Structure 1
Amino acid sequence: MTLGDGVRRNIAGVSPEERTLLRDAILKMNATKWDGTRDDPVPGGVTWWFKQDEIHKATHVHGGPEFLPWHREVVNRFEDQLRVIDPRLSLHYWDWTQDPRSIPGANLGTSTGTLNLFTPQFMGFGGASLQPIGQPFEAAGFYDPQANPFRSDNAFDPNNNPADKPRAVNRQVNGTPIEPVRDQEVLDAAEYTPMRKLLEKSHNKMHGFVNMGNAHISFRDPFVFLLHSNVDRLFALWQLRTGHPERLDPEHVYGAESDDPELNGNVEPWSTGHGDEGDVRPWCAPENLGIPHTYKDPSIVTPRRYDTNPGVV
């Protein structure tokens, strides 16, 4: 494997140096802000990191045909921003058939051995009780116990300005990984609808295993991107199964759900900036950087490169 080759890999298989580069790039995302100020009509001054939480809160979709392609777009755009910071990086994935606290045969640099992803050197706290994720993220301002004003955990709380830090980002790791047979059931699904339902069921279970607060605030936790990169990896692997060219065809990939109005509507907030729970800059006014596109756009239908894609080494 080569740093900078554009392939997303099992995070346990990349070198310790590359894991450190990925961590450092995520930390740096909280040091760069979008234009504007927190008191603008549509808040500005949001860091690249907290923009992920703002996007997810305003527009995320679950339980429907858009679940997989919407999360593919958010993952792809996050990877693009990582590459602005360090062009060599890819958004690697956590293989959820492995316990992230104890992954055997991992790349430890000069040897292989057991790897815990939840240390101050990488993803922070990962114990059995719900606690703040700690270092290195507290020092980088991913949360501040004394923040005032602060971004609330309650989606209905008026203290929800995306430019503000939360007072905590909590995590709890308690449970067991997905059984490999569950992934195989996803890959063996004949049509998009049963596949995405099976995959979302596994996703939901893994959000319980690695509890990042709740569904509305999980995108404040950097580990969420390793989880969702794996969701997208399995979607990609299903698309690339031999004998199914229609799964790479925008008009047929979604099978019986291809005519669903949501799949044929704008992908938000990146089309117009208008989310279900508020507008999101810079895709809405005043920047108006949105580019209207649907879930059939080739940038969404075509998967990125994973080490499990056929022909990728």
Structure 2
Amino acid sequence: MGVRKNQQNLTATEKTNLVNALLAIKQSGVYDTFVRQHIDRLNGDSDNGTRIGHRSPSFLPWHRKFLLDFERALQAVDPTVSLPYWDWTTAGAGSSLWATDFMGPNGSPSQNGRVTSGPFAGSSWPLSVRSDSAGFLRRSFGSGGVSLPTARDVRTVLDIRTYDTAPWNSTSAGSFRNGLEGFRGPNLHNRVHVWVNGTMAGAGSPNDPVFWLHHCHVDKLWSDWQIRNGRNTYIPVAGTANVVDIDEVMQPWGDVTPRDMLDHSSHYTYE
């Protein structure tokens, strides 16, 4: 069982091991299977139709399973690697997260946001599976005046006591899931994607390795909420059209339900 750390607390060796594992599964083609899975799922989710990975109660358990599968792929290369989380309330554009020996820097405004240095620039990180025309990693921090969520924003969402509410989509009010996903209230998860911008702003967002650190923090916030409110809080329970009830399987796995993902303690813990 691994311990997921705040990326700010990683040792130099832990950072190097993570980067090397990311590069290894990229080179083998395994990385791109996760990008394709996310593109297909996001494109298949809609407010008024089937929704599984986004805009729905299963947003959090779906991504917990997605993260767990990805972490296991990294650990197949290096068993010492665990996904770290990016706490965007304390680590902005000036963070060591963006160092050239870790996630790499912001993109170049004169080159369509292209990231030109770091491990994920150039020929070592081609975007062969993507949702836009750019075959390279792009970032444009804070484009359009968007800011990262604050600690106060996070507290506001964590204080919502109900896991989710009808109509179980992006319009759900008084919903912890929707507040965290970012369609209502302070806008947490979605806002971070928009702040990084570039590759992170589209369906192919996992092409940016910071996607995994971002979603690891989203998962941690769900874990923090569960500590306050209990794990057996997922709704809807049964009989709801177009969304995944607690004991229904989540595609594409076919044998994993939201209930299976409510307790992560046998797989990993957070520091």
TM-score range, shorter chain: 0.7 to 0.9
1:209 counterpart = 2:201: no
1:258 to 213, 237, 246: 237
* Letter of the structure 1 residue corresponding to residue 259 of structure 2: K
1:294 counterpart = 2:262: no
What's the secondary structure of 2:139's corresponding residue? strand
1:180 to 151, 159, 163: 151
Given that residues 107 and 138 in structure 2 are in contact (C-alpha distance below 8 angstroms), is that contact kept between their aligned partners in structure 1?
Answer: no
Deviation at 1:101, TM superposition (A): 2.7
Structure 1 unaligned regions, length at least 5 = 33-46, 104-115, 145-149, 158-165, 272-291, 308-313
Deviation at 1:266, TM superposition (A): 2.3
Runs of 4+ in 1 over 3 A off after TM superposition: 127-130, 138-141, 150-154
Q: In structure 2, do the counterparts of structure 1 residues 170 and 233 end up closer, same or farther at CA, with 3 Å as the change threshold?
A: same
Q: Within 5 A, what are the aligned runs for 1:140-219?
A: 141-143=124-126, 151=129, 153-154=131-132, 167-174=135-142, 175-193=146-164, 194-201=175-182, 202-213=188-199, 214-219=201-206
Given that residues 126 and 171 in structure 1 are in contact (C-alpha distance below 8 angstroms), is that contact kept between their aligned partners in structure 2?
Answer: yes
1:17 to 13, 18, 21: 13
Given that residues 72 and 232 in structure 1 are in contact (C-alpha distance below 8 angstroms), is that contact kept between their aligned partners in structure 2?
Answer: yes
2:253 to 270, 283, 289: 270
For residues 195 and 159 of structure 2, the distance between their equivalents in structure 1, rounded to whole angstroms, comes to 24
**Alignment RMSD:** 2.1
Identity of aligned residues (%): 29
Deviation at 1:139, TM superposition (A): 4.8
Identify the structure with the greater helix proportion: 2
Given that residues 6 and 85 in structure 2 are in contact (C-alpha distance below 8 angstroms), is that contact kept between their aligned partners in structure 1?
Answer: yes
For residues 152 and 203 of structure 1, the distance between their equivalents in structure 2, rounded to whole angstroms, comes to 21
Structure 2 unaligned regions, length at least 5 = 43-52, 165-174, 183-187
Q: Name the TM-score, length of structure 2 as normaliser.
A: 0.78
String of CA shifts for 1:89-134, please: whole Å, max 9, x gaps.
110000010233324xxxxxxxxxxxx2223211123147352223
- Structure 2 equivalent of residue 26 of structure 1: 22
Aligned length: 232
String of CA shifts for 1:139-178, please: whole Å, max 9, x gaps.
563217xxxxx54534xx9xxxxxxxx6222111124321
- Structure 2 equivalent of residue 78 of structure 1: 70
Given that residues 100 and 118 in structure 1 are in contact (C-alpha distance below 8 angstroms), is that contact kept between their aligned partners in structure 2?
Answer: no
Identify the structure with the greater strand proportion: 1
Bigger relative contact order (CA 8 A; separation at least 6)? 2
Q: Name the TM-score, length of structure 1 as normaliser.
A: 0.68
The structure with the largest alpha-carbon Rg is: 1
- Structure 1 equivalent of residue 222 of structure 2: 235
